[in-house]
């Protein structure tokens, strides 16, 4: 895979996708969103890849938002299309991926950057990270799922405050409201994400993909999470991972999933 705006590397069943536009604080332009879509699609198909870590290049920013220069002259119609396409190609796509995605938030995660972190399955931040949805300060609202995922993660009151004030919160505050799961010094960020990814990759990828589906179903108005859980639970019984996992337990050995 060759890209201009992102870097992709794979090691020990873990893929790391680095958004690489440091001079623009890794802002998400159209080309970067397209490349991220291609990369996530390919990595999701790659059976060797059990976990994906997404991060930003440099020490300053994860992603400082959608690229403002690209949409400043858009019409109503173009604005709507921008949000619809972005949600479909990247944000919903990441959330619905079978492969778990960890966002390693290594600095500013603003607007589309925080939205990408929130679409990931969970977040780990470095202690210099700053997060926020500043869109209303630009006369627009979050369009890549921010008005939906932020209240899901931190509750409606805090989400309302963050969106209405357009302010930034630091990593400690983000940890205290459950927006990120851990805060560590920057040099420990990727090692911690890799350690968590390692733990995840010892488990059944098939079962994890069913768990992602069931969890997401509970947050969608079109699906019943409990019903999806029952269906997914049943489906697990037909997998070789279930056979291996239960057999290994009964034989008092560690399961080896394909
Ligand atoms: N879109 C396009 N370019 C962006 C960008 C964005 N979202 N965020 C930063 N950049 C660019 C800047 O224009 C600047 O480019 P230049 O050097 O060619 O002028 C470069 O990245 C560095 O940013 P700068 O603003 O000089 O850095 P800073 O340290 O002074 O400030 C931020 C950092 C994050 C506070 C500031 O860049 C910012 O507020 N960015 C926009 C955040 C935002 O509103 N995001 C939501 C978009 S919907």
pLDDT in tens, 57-108: 999 999 999 999 999 999 999 999 999 999 999 999 999 999 999 999 999 9
Pocket (CB within 6 angstroms of ligand 1): 24-25, 27, 64-69, 108, 110-111, 134-135, 138
Q: Say what the pLDDT of residue 67 is.
A: 95
CA-CA-CA-CA dihedral for 18, 118, 232, 99, to nearest 10: 0
CA of 7 to the centre of ligand 1 (A): 21
Token pair in block for residue 184: 């560590």
Across-strand partners of 16? 9, 53
State pTM to two decimals: 0.97
Cα separation of 160 and 172, whole Å? 19
Q: Say what the pLDDT of residue 1 is.
A: 80
DSSP assigned state of 88 = I
Token pair in block for residue 257: 């999933």
| 242, 205 contact by CB (below 8 A) | no
Q: Looking at the CA of residue 24, tell me the nearest atom of ligand 1.
A: 21
SS3 55: strand
Residues 6+ apart with CB under 8 A from 97: 40, 44, 52, 212
Which residue among 5, 24, 128, 145 is best mutated to probe the pocket of ligand 1, counting the most ligand atoms within 8 A of its Cβ?
24
By alpha-carbon position, which residue is closest to atom 2 of ligand 1? 67
CA of 24 to the centre of ligand 1 (A): 6
| 117, 107 contact by CB (below 8 A) | no
Q: Say what the pLDDT of residue 229 is.
A: 98
CA of 136 to the centre of ligand 1 (A): 16
SS3 61: strand
CA of 64 to the centre of ligand 1 (A): 6
Q: Say what the pLDDT of residue 182 is.
A: 98
Q: Which regions in the chain score pLDDT beneath 50?
A: none
Query: Roughly how many angstroms between the first and final C-alpha of the chain, as a whole number?
Result: 25
């Amino acid at each position: 895979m060759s890209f201009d705006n992102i870097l992709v590397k794979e090691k020990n069943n873990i893929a790391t996708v680095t958004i690489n536009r440091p001079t623009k604080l890794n802002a998400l332009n159209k080309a970067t969103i397209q490349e991220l879509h291609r990369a996530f699609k390919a990595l999701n198909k790659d059976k060797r890849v059990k976990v994906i870590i997404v991060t930003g290049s440099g020490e300053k920013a994860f992603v400082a938002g959608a690229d403002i220069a690209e949409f400043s002259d858009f019409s109503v119609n173009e604005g709507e299309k921008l949000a619809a396409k972005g949600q479909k190609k990247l944000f919903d796509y990441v959330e619905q991926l079978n492969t778990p995605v960890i966002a390693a938030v290594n600095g500013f995660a603003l607007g589309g950057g925080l939205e990408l972190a929130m679409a990931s399955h969970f977040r780990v931040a470095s202690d210099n990270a700053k997060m926020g949805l500043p869109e209303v300060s630009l006369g627009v609202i979050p369009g890549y799922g921010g008005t939906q995922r932020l209240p899901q993660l931190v509750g409606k009151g805090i989400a309302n405050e963050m969106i209405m004030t357009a302010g930034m919160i630091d990593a400690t505050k983000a940890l205290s409201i459950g927006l990120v799961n851990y805060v560590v010094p920057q040099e420990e960020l990727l090692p911690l994400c890799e350690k968590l990814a390692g733990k995840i990759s010892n488990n059944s990828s098939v079962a994890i993909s069913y768990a992602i589906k069931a969890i997401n179903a509970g947050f969608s108005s079109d699906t019943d999470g409990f019903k999806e859980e029952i269906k997914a639970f049943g489906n697990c019984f037909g997998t070789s991972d279930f056979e291996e996992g239960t057999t290994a337990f009964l034989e008092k050995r560690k399961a080896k999933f394909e």
